[in-house]
Each structure stands twice: as C-alpha cells, then as structure tokens.
Amino acid sequence: MKRNFSSFSIFVARLYFIFLFGWAILRALFGDRWAFLFLLNAFAPYLFAPLPIVSAIALGARRRDMWLGSALSAMLAIFLYGELFVPKSKTSNEPALTVMTYNILGLNEDTSAIVSAIRAANADVIAIQELNPTAARAFAETLRDEYPYQILNPQPGFAGMGLLSRYPLRAMNATLPGKWTGAPIIATLEWRGATIALVNVHPAPTIFRASAYLAESARVEQTIRERERAMETLAQFCAAQTTPVILLGDFNTAEQSAAYQILARELTDAWRAAGWGLGHTFPLPDHAGDTRWHFAGITLPTRMMRIDFIFHSRDWQTVSARIGPLDGKSDHHSVVARLILTRK
C-alpha cells in the first residue's frame, strides 16, 4: 500500500512538472494565442501553489529527475515573481510626484466613501476609471480646493474617465484608436518646471462564462487580440512622446499576459520597481454588484490578480508603490506610487 501511494505521488508530481513546463513553453512561444492559454497566464501565480507539496514528494522520492524538476520549477517561480518579494529600500530627498489609479466602480454612488479614500491616499494626481455623473459632481463640488485641476468625462455605467490634479493640467488634442471601455484621457501636467504626459486608460475586458467556454472561445480570443492591438498603439504613443510619461489605469490584463508585456517592453511598472508582494487589486466584493468570478456555483476568493497598473517612462524612478485606501464599495483596489523625475 505504501509503495503504491509512493508510486502514485511520483506520477502526480511528474504530471505537475509536465504541466508547469508545458505552460511556460507555450507562454513563451505563443503569449495569449488561445483562450485557455490566456486564462492560464492570467492566473499564473496559482500554478505554483502545489510546488511546496510536489517538492516534498520529490525530496522523499530520492530521484534525480524529481529533484531537477523541483529545482527548475523553483527557478521559474523566482524568475517570474522573485523580485516582487525582495525588500526595496529606495529613499530620496528629491521632490516626488505621488500618483494614483482608482477604478471607483461605475455603479458606486457612495461619493463620501470615494472622496474619503482619495483624501486618505493624499496623491498629487489621480486617474479615475468608471467615473459616473454622481461622483463627477462630488469631485467638482467637494475636491475643487484640493484638486483645482480636473478633467472629467462622466458616463452612466462603466465608460466614464477622469483626472484630478493639484498641478496645472491641460487636455491634449490626441486620441488613441482601439477597443476601450472608456475613451482614454490624454493630458499634459506642469510640475516643477517640467511638462509631463499623462495617460489614463481603461481597455475593454474579456468576459466569458466558464460553462460556455467552447462556444465563446472565438469571441474571447477576439477581445484578447483587440486589447493587444490597443496596447501596441498605446506603447507606440508613449514611445513617441518627447516629455516624461505616466500611464495609469485599469488595464483588464494580468502581468503574465502578452498585452502587459507589450507595455513592459517600453515602460516601467511602478509596482515591479518598488512594490512588495503580488499586489493583487481585483476583484473585491462590492455592494453595487459583485464582480467576483463563480465556478460551478462557487464564488471564488477576492484579490486574485493584479490588473490596475501605474507605468512610467525611463525618465522616472519609482520611490514607493502601495495599495491605496479602500472605499468599501469599489471592486478594485487603488494603487499609489511616488515618483521622482530623473530626466526632464
């Protein structure tokens, strides 16, 4: 019986190694080419959850191939996520610009909680996604003294966008083609003698029902391609700017996805540079309409992935990055980063 259990455990461990390395190879070669691969990439951190148990089996098995599999799996995990758990001790006496990205949830009418979260974050510039008319009125009336410069494009539902700033802000006469939940806001910020390009985006999400995966896979893959094209356009726009760039938003994509990699080749992810931990921002249980995923009638946990990002050009250095205050109603965590300008 003991021998049978040992053989079965080794068999399962080997299957796990085949699955994990197979995923890594497919991701490297094909990105998000197919819907199933997009899903695996989106939930990539959880692919390593069995690794401690599998490594214990490998240790007990005393087989060289099992040890090698465990070592390579650990190296892959460290390669993908290791820097997120290295303490960052960046300090600077240089003036810092604090920026925040915040999806308030389009159905969220609790403006007092939203305003309180914004004030608690104490950011200089705030990019708002899913800005509804009620929240826009509250910002214009309540936050005008603290954030005198506002570009607000409220919409019912989820398409509204906004920028709040303590420093002079001016909308740019520029548009970004692509599939977006809300039209991107592109603006210039005047800060300490420097002109900065600000971009607030909210790409369209990929939505599907697990029960109808096969029927919807073609549509899912179409939305993935649309988002990748939008990110290509966005990366090209940022690269073409002659001024420092800050890009913020709810990107509806995880960091192992091809869409994220398109941006990361051109820009710096502030959380990767100065945050700690996985930094998951979505989903949270909201009171206006729970957006958590359900599988086989089971509601999945909160904070399963990081889809809210602050990117910046190489002109900046990230001093710190943190999860922002909760308002108790949005289905997203906000993200706050402090940046210092190294080149004007």
Q: Averaged over 71-81, what is the pLDDT?
A: 97
Structural domain including 29 reads 2-84
Please tell me whether residue 143 adopts helix, strand or coil conformation: coil
Q: Are residues 77 and 98 in the same domain?
A: no
Q: What is the pLDDT of residue 90?
A: 72
Q: What is the pLDDT of residue 7?
A: 86
Q: Are residues 45 and 172 in the same domain?
A: no
Domain boundary (55, 84, 113) is at 84
253: left (phi over 0), alpha (psi -120 to 50) or beta: beta
Q: Averaged over 170-175, what is the pLDDT?
A: 92
Domain boundary (84, 102, 137) is at 84
Least confident among 78-82, 212-216, 274-278: 212-216
pLDDT in tens, 282-329: 988 755 555 545 555 555 667 889 999 999 999 999 999 999 999 989
286 neighbors 312 (Cβ within 8 angstroms): no
Q: Are residues 155 and 171 in the same domain?
A: yes
- The secondary structure of 69-127 as a DSSP string is HHHHHHHHHHHHHGGGGS-------S-EEEEEEEE--TT---HHHHHHHHHHHT-SEEE
Q: Are residues 41 and 105 in the same domain?
A: no
Q: Are residues 243 and 141 in the same domain?
A: yes
Q: What is the pLDDT of residue 88?
A: 81
pLDDT in tens, 92-148: 788 999 999 999 999 999 999 999 999 999 999 999 999 999 999 999 999 999 999
Q: Averaged over 69-94, what is the pLDDT?
A: 91
213 has pLDDT over 70? no
Q: What is the pLDDT of residue 1?
A: 45
How would you write 185-217 as a 3-class SS string?
A: EEEEEEECCEEEEEEEEEECCCCCCHHHHHHHH
Q: Are residues 42 and 161 in the same domain?
A: no
**What distance lies between CA 154 and its chain's CA centroid?**
23
Query: What does the alpha-carbon distance between residue 150 and residue 325 come to, in Å, rounded to a whole number?
Result: 21
- Torsion angle (degrees, nearest 10) of CA 268, 271, 273, 277: -150
Q: Are residues 80 and 94 in the same domain?
A: no
Domain total of the chain: 2
H or E element that contains 344: none
Name the token pair of 321: 């990055």
Q: Are residues 35 and 111 in the same domain?
A: no
Q: Are residues 76 and 110 in the same domain?
A: no
> In whole numbers, what is the pLDDT of the chain averaged over residues?
91
Domain boundary (29, 55, 84) is at 84
Q: What is the pLDDT of residue 232?
A: 97
Q: What is the pTM of this model?
A: 0.92
Q: Are residues 12 and 159 in the same domain?
A: no
CATH number of 96's domain: 3.60.10.10
Q: Are residues 274 and 239 in the same domain?
A: yes
Place of tokens 């929240």: 135
Q: What is the pLDDT of residue 160?
A: 98
Q: Are residues 253 and 159 in the same domain?
A: yes
How much of the chain exceeds pLDDT 90, in percent? 78
Instruction: Report the DSSP beta bridge partners of residue 149.
Output: 165
CA distances from 9 to 53, 57, 63, 258 (A): 10, 7, 13, 34
H or E element that contains 140: helix 133-142
115 neighbors 142 (Cβ within 8 angstroms): yes
